[in-house]
């Protein structure tokens, strides 16, 4: 009887060892398969080039010489200069930024982009902030800085995915 029990115990230990080995192999395989090699939804260089190109966008606000680029419009707004047709340059700036960012980064439940935060900072003070969607912990940022008449301007964009 004792020998029979011992033999059964040995069989059980053998079975348990095999199960453990199979479990370890499966775990290794699963971890190998679930390694995330996918491309990021948004890359930082995309945000950088968005800001860079958005700053070159020709706005509807003009002075005597030319139509302002977005960069020129930011400066005109900061210096309180109106457009040639009398419109407030800051209002044009707000609407232009809103349209550019909304068309460039479409957010929503179906989209992989959950939200964004666009900021214009002048001499370390936020002068314009435009937010949409949800802020998540996973985000990428872009930054572009320029200087004009002793003022330092920073344009930042955070994209939440």
Partner 1 sequence: MLEFPFKFESCRNKKGQMKIQQMIFMIIAVIILFAMVGLFFLSTAFSSLRKSATTLAQEESMLLVSRLANSPEFSCGNAFGNSKTNCVDFDKVAGLKNHIGEYSDFWGVAKIEIRKIYPSGEKLCTEANYPNCEIFKILDKNVNTLPYSHNFISLCRKELNDKITYDKCELALLMIASEDRTNGN
Sort 23 into a burial class: Cβ within 10 Å, 0-12 / 13-18 / 19+: exposed
Which of 19, 24, 29, 30 touches partner 1 (CB under 8 A)? Answer: 29
Q: 73 to each of 26, 80, 84, 120, how far by Cα in Å?
A: 60, 10, 12, 12
4 scored as a contact of partner 1 (CB under 8 A): no
22 scored as a contact of partner 1 (CB under 8 A): yes
Q: Which stretch binds partner 1 (CB under 8 A): 53-61, 114-122, 133-141, 153-161?
A: 53-61
100 scored as a contact of partner 1 (CB under 8 A): yes
Residue placing its CB nearer to partner 1 in the complex, 19 or 123: 19
- Report the C-alpha gap between 91 and 29 in whole angstroms: 57
17 scored as a contact of partner 1 (CB under 8 A): no
Task: Report, in Å, the least distance between residue 90 CB and partner 1.
Answer: 19
Residue 44 · residue 142 · CB < 8 Å:
yes
DSSP for residue 136: -
Q: Report how many residues bind partner 1 under the rule CB under 8 A.
A: 25
Sort 34 into a burial class: Cβ within 10 Å, 0-12 / 13-18 / 19+: exposed
Per CB under 8 A, contacts with partner 1 among 33-52 are: 33, 37, 39, 45-46, 49-50, 52
Percent helix, strand and coil across the chain, each rounded to 5? 45, 30, 30
Task: Report, in Å, the least distance between residue 125 CB and partner 1.
Answer: 27
Tell me which residues touch partner 1 (CB under 8 A): 18, 22, 25, 29, 32-33, 37, 39, 45-46, 49-50, 52-54, 56-58, 66-67, 69, 99-100, 103-104
């Amino acid at each position: 009887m004792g020998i029979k029990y011992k033999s059964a115990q040995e069989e059980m230990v053998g079975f348990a060892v095999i199960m453990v080995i199979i479990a370890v192999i499966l775990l290794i395989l699963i971890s190998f398969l679930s390694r995330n090699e996918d491309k990021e939804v948004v890359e930082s260089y995309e945000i950088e080039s968005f800001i860079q190109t958005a700053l070159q966008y020709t706005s509807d606000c003009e002075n005597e010489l030319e139509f302002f680029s977005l960069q020129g419009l930011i400066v005109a707004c900061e210096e309180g200069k109106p457009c040639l047709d009398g419109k407030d340059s800051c209002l044009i700036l707000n609407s232009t930024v809103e349209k550019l960012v909304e068309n460039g980064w479409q957010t929503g439940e179906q989209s992989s982009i959950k939200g964004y935060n666009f900021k214009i900072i002048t001499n370390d003070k936020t002068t314009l902030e435009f937010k949409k969607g949800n802020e998540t912990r996973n985000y990428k940022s872009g930054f572009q800085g320029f200087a004009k008449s002793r003022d330092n301007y920073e344009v930042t964009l955070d994209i939440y995915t």
